[in-house]
Chain A
Amino acid sequence: MYSFYAVAIIYRQISKIFMPSQELFPQISFSAIATITRSNLLVIFGVVLVVFIFFTAVFLFHWRTYGGGNKYIFMAEVIYWAISLFLLMSMIITIMLY
């Protein structure tokens, strides 16, 4: 499996060989980033939270119904909650600091 980085390196090398006089990219501007406000972030976070709750409900249903009290299902649940809550907390802290 090719990583995205490997593909990018290959593309750069090929471009240098076949298009040495052309710029690799047109001028790209990301000035729109400066217009993102805290309320924008809250809306995005709300959408992410809804999607997260939906999939969490689906996972818990499957693991509790079909898992049979298996220890690996329990470990998967613990890992899932740990990672998800950590990521959600980092988003919340970012919104507070923004």
Chain B
Amino acid sequence: MLHIELEPDENIILEVRKHWFVFLGPIIFFILCALIPFFLYTFFHGNASQIDVSFIDDNFFVLTFFFYPIWLLALTIGFFIRWTDYYLDVWYVTQKRIIDVEQKNLFYREISNLRFDRIQDISIEVRGFIATFLNFGDLNVETAGEGTVDFSIRNVSNPERIKRVIFAQHNIVWDKLDDTKI
């Protein structure tokens, strides 16, 4: 069940989300954070002559099996906060409009609509070797009229295809408007 209200004759044609590569950085970050206790142990073990290590007994190792999962649980929660923020940023392209859903953080969500008859131009920007190789980039939809905000989404997969779909729907809407004028 979708949380957005669609009109009776409206269906979602395309869901546009950010490329998976964008989330690789946070994944690596959280993996490194999970390994920090091992780095700390290696570092302090190397300086054992300066640290009283008599506390390292059976109790200590049992306690590590208690406190280390707490650290991992905190990282898991942090990871899923980032993932939720990443995954719930989405464009829904319907026959009539583009619905831009932006999850800015867990408790801040912005939803905007752009009708196809307001679209003036769509530009694509693909920067860098990895973006070119994996085919992801930024999509910017310019709107007509003063005081209106352009729609943009960054690092989407296959932006050229999304542009074609939006332009196709845009042309259909304009053809219908021309027919009604005649």
Contacts and interface: CB of A to CB of B under 8 A. Distances in A.
Interface stretch (B48-56, B114-122, B140-148, B167-175): B48-56
Contact of B73 (A33, A84, A95): A84
Contact of B106 (A5, A29, A58): A58
Given A52-B73, A52-B77, A5 B3 contact: no
Contact of A87 (B28, B50, B69): B69
Question: By DSSP majority rule, is chain A's interface helix, strand, loop, or mixed?
Answer: helix
Contacts of A62: 84, 88, 106
B75 to A, nearest CB: 10
Given A31-B54, A41-B66, A66-B3, 5 more contacts: A44-B66, A66-B109, A69-B1, A87-B72, A94-B66
Interface of B: 1-3, 28-29, 32, 35-36, 39-40, 42-43, 46-47, 50-52, 54-55, 59-60, 62-63, 65-66, 69-70, 72-73, 76-77, 80-81, 83-84, 87-88, 101, 103, 106, 109
B150 to A, nearest CB: 24
Interface in A25-41: 25-31, 33-34, 36, 41
B39 A4 contact: yes
Given A8-B43, A69-B1, A28 B62 contact: no
24 contacts: A4-B39, A5-B39, A12-B43, A12-B46, A23-B50, A24-B50, A26-B50, A27-B51, A31-B55, A33-B55, A33-B60, A33-B63, A36-B63, A44-B66, A51-B77, A52-B77, A55-B80, A67-B88, A68-B1, A69-B1, A83-B72, A87-B76, A91-B70, A98-B59
Contact of A28 (B39, B43, B51): B51
Most chain A C-beta atoms within 10 Å of own C-beta, residue among B63, B73, B76, B84: B73
Interface of A: 1, 3-5, 8-9, 12, 23-31, 33-34, 36, 41, 44, 48, 51-52, 55, 58-59, 62-63, 65-69, 72-73, 76, 80, 83-84, 87-88, 90-91, 93-95, 97-98
Contacts, number: 111
Contacts of A91: 66, 69-70
